[in-house]
């Protein structure tokens, strides 16, 4: 429903850490200014200086941007080595992230050593469910990465492109932008890529969605009406199940998927000739009690650069 013409600015804001000195705060602000202006290599060199001076917040951001290739070539191995080094020096968030990744059985490039196994639910849109795709700690980490920037979901007006609230989509959401893609998040993005048979570069920013009681996402197609790089697949992560209602319902196929914490669901959005598959129409049914948390990765036909904007790639 509607085309997403621009990302909200908070997509590019890192989650702030509490501990740093006044001088460091000023320096980090400089980095944020570079990022906002898309001066990515300038941001990286300022970060390098700060990290060398021993600033943990700058180091954490540098690790993230090194791994996802912001302002330079992506380098998981270098980023992981820096995270391990900071974990030994600072502990805290660095050590927590390393501990989370120790449970993941990753290869040297951050990919899972084994392919997650899915169950085929429907062959016409290659719908597969993965049981236990995420651990409880991973679910919590994803939700926590975006919980401070949740904002009401908006839909772009098809005529003017202006964002506005719309009853088709009543939820809160927050994209996990490139500055928030801590290594555990990037490892999960690689798992999603492997499970969906796509490249990690094809994904849009992983988006956390939160539904309060009464909220829903009415039947819709995830394909975009006007794009040169169409969405091919939707990958949904169910982060919790302590709520009533809120199933994912495919009205054309007559299939209802009951959310279970840690499960994942993937399905094709387009048919053989690249046109939208009506069978993929789906809804997030109204939540009747509790809060529903999911995260969605929409996967494009070709590489997609979040920094360059939704339709630049
Ligand atoms: O909330 C759901 O179960 C479906 C979410 C959805 O349609 C989407 O993220 O594209
Ligand atoms: Fe959807």
Is the same domain home to 288 and 162?
Answer: yes
Is the same domain home to 139 and 181?
Answer: yes
Residue 25 lies in a domain: yes
The last residue of one of the domains, among 40, 70, 102, is: 102
pLDDT score, position 311: 64
| Helix residue spans in 124-169 (DSSP H) | 136-146
Residues 6+ apart with CB under 8 A from 238: 259, 260, 261, 262, 263, 264, 265, 294
Q: Is the CB of 128 under 6 A from ligand 1?
A: no
Is the same domain home to 35 and 95?
Answer: yes
Is the same domain home to 195 and 271?
Answer: yes
Q: How far is the CA of 27 from the centre of ligand 2 (A)?
A: 40
Q: ipTM of the predicted structure?
A: 0.99
Is the same domain home to 130 and 247?
Answer: yes
pLDDT reading at 7 higher than 50: yes
Is the same domain home to 56 and 190?
Answer: no
Residue 110 lies in a domain: no
The last residue of one of the domains, among 102, 133, 156, is: 102
Pick the residue with more confidence: 166 or 251?
251
Residues 6+ apart with CB under 8 A from 160: none
Q: Render pLDDT for 214-231 as a digit per residue (tens, 0 to 9).
A: 999 999 999 988 888 999
For 262, left (φ over 0), alpha (ψ -120 to 50), or beta? left
**Closest among 110, 20, 14 to 70, alpha carbons compared:** 14
Is the same domain home to 139 and 98?
Answer: no
Is the same domain home to 89 and 183?
Answer: no
Atom of ligand 1 nearest to the CA of 248: 3
The last residue of one of the domains, among 51, 73, 102, is: 102
Q: Is the CB of 217 under 6 A from ligand 1?
A: yes
Residue 111 lies in a domain: no
Is the same domain home to 67 and 148?
Answer: no
pLDDT reading at 1 higher than 60: no
Total domains in the fold of the chain:
2
Q: Is the CB of 294 under 6 A from ligand 1?
A: yes
Q: Whose CA is nearest to atom 10 of ligand 1?
A: 222
Is the same domain home to 93 and 129?
Answer: no
| Helix residue spans in 37-75 (DSSP H) | 40-52, 56-68
Residues 6+ apart with CB under 8 A from 199: 193, 303
Residue 45 lies in a domain: yes
CATH assignment of the domain containing 160: 2.60.120.620
Directed axis angle between helix 56-68 and helix 183-196, to 10°?
20
Residues 6+ apart with CB under 8 A from 63: 79, 82, 83, 86, 182, 183
Residue 2 lies in a domain: no
> How far is residue 55's CA from residue 24's CA, in Å, rounded to a whole number?
7
Is the same domain home to 96 and 129?
Answer: no
Which domain covers residue 97, as residue numbers?
9-102
Residue 215 lies in a domain: yes
Residue 113 lies in a domain: no
What letter does residue 205 receive in the DSSP assignment?
Answer: P
Residue 214 lies in a domain: yes
Q: Is the CB of 284 under 6 A from ligand 1?
A: yes
Is the same domain home to 303 and 174?
Answer: yes
Q: Render pLDDT for 82-135 as a digit per residue (tens, 0 to 9).
A: 999 999 999 999 999 999 999 999 999 999 999 889 999 999 999 999 999 999
Cβ–Cβ under 8 Å, residues 223 and 230: yes
pLDDT score, position 29: 84
Cβ–Cβ under 8 Å, residues 296 and 234: yes
């Amino acid at each position: 429903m509607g085309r997403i013409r621009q990302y909200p600015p908070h997509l590019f804001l890192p989650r702030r850490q509490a501990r740093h000195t006044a001088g460091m705060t000023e320096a980090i602000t400089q980095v944020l200014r570079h990022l906002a202006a898309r001066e990515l290599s300038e941001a990286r060199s300022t970060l390098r200086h700060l990290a060398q001076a021993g600033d943990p917040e700058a180091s954490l951001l540098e690790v993230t941007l090194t791994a996802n290739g912001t302002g330079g070539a992506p380098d998981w191995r270098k980023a992981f080595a820096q995270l391990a080094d900071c974990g030994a020096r600072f502990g805290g968030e660095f050590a927590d992230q390393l501990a989370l990744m120790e449970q993941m059985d990753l290869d040297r490039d951050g990919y899972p050593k084994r392919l997650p196994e899915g169950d085929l639910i429907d062959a016409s849109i290659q719908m597969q469910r993965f049981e236990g795709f995420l651990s409880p700690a991973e679910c919590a980490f994803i939700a926590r990465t975006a919980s401070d920037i949740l904002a009401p979901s908006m839909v772009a007006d098809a005529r003017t492109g202006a964002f506005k609230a719309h009853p088709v989509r009543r939820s809160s959401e927050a994209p996990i932008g490139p500055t928030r893609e801590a290594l555990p998040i990037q490892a999960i993005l690689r798992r999603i890529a492997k499970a969906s048979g796509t490249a990690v570069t094809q994904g849009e920013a992983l988006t956390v969605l939160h539904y309060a009681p009464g909220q829903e996402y009415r039947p819709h197609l995830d394909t975009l009406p006007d794009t040169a790089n169409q969405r091919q697949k939707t990958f949904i992560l169910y982060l919790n199940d302590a709520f009533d209602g809120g199933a994912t319902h495919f009205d054309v196929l007559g299939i209802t998927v009951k959310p279970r914490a840690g499960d994942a669901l993937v399905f094709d959005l387009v048919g053989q000739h690249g046109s939208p598959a009506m069978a993929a129409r789906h809804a997030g049914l109204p939540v009747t009690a509790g809060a529903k948390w999911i995260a969605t990765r929409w996967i494009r036909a070709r590489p997609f650069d979040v920094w360059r904007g939704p339709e630049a790639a």
